[in-house]
Amino acid sequence: MRGCRIIIPKSHQAEVPNQIHEGHLDITKCRARARCFVYWPGISKAIEEKIKSCTACIQESSNRHQPLIPTSFPERPWEKSILSHHGIPDVVHSDNCSQFDPVKTVEFKDFAKNYGFTYISSTPKFSQSNGLIETAVKIVKARIKKSRDLYLALMAYHATPLENSFSPSELLMGRRIDTALPVAKTQLRPYSVNKKVLEAEEGRRIEGQKMNYDKHHGVRNLDE
């Protein structure tokens, strides 16, 4: 063991990069996943070579050129999600499709009022104003294009640390989930995510992401 990470013997090192890259995660996420669970000298280079040789990842590309408008980070899991599984949310944030328009759709306006939640819609025909959801859609689309098994791909994504250092499963369930990647069982025990640390990390991530995105694409506000 190296801390909580399992040291992979040479005889198994060839197969582990495939497990780490399950779901066709990018190199940053693959390395973050490896740092949580496994180690051997040269693992970072092995991951890089695996991704560079991945045909599906090479073929997948996208371009966006409008300013990114970040979505605020929720205070608790499922604060902004579906009612049927997790109860009434505080906020429903959607695109501007007609079925969600509280001005045009009386039923939805009454629904929001009766159940006591706040509704926020993105700017019509401007996906960057709904950055969090658009990113989620982009991730799922990429998984569908690249992966033979969508559920395995999503499992890998849910088990991989985000830029705030917590994985989606940790944020939702307060624990890491087990995957095909070797892991010490002590790392799968439930625990409480430090909310202050999470909020600070997420705030820095969102601000940095917007600055890098806008700088990279040379964007400017429409009123300039």
- Which residues, 6 or more positions from 57, have their beta carbon under 8 angstroms from its beta carbon? 24, 26, 51, 146
Check residue 222 and give its pLDDT.
55
Tell whether 174 is covered by a domain.
yes
Check residue 77 and give its pLDDT.
59
Tell whether 212 is covered by a domain.
no
d(CA 94, CA 100): 7
pLDDT of the chain, 224 residues: tens digit per residue: 788 899 999 999 999 999 999 888 889 999 999 999 999 999 999 999 999 998 888 877 554 455 665 666 666 555 445 666 778 888 887 776 666 565 556 777 788 888 888 887 776 665 666 667 777 788 888 888 888 888 888 899 899 998 888 999 999 899 999 998 888 889 999 998 888 888 888 888 878 877 887 777 676 665 55
Check residue 63 and give its pLDDT.
46
Tell whether 213 is covered by a domain.
no
Tell whether 224 is covered by a domain.
no
Q: With beta carbons less than 8 A apart as the criterion, state whether 201 and 164 touch.
A: yes
**Domain tally, the chain:** 3
Tell whether 152 is covered by a domain.
yes
Report residue 94: phi and psi, to 5°.
-135, 175
Range of the domain at 115: 85-121
Check residue 20 and give its pLDDT.
92
Tell whether 78 is covered by a domain.
no
Check residue 127 and give its pLDDT.
61
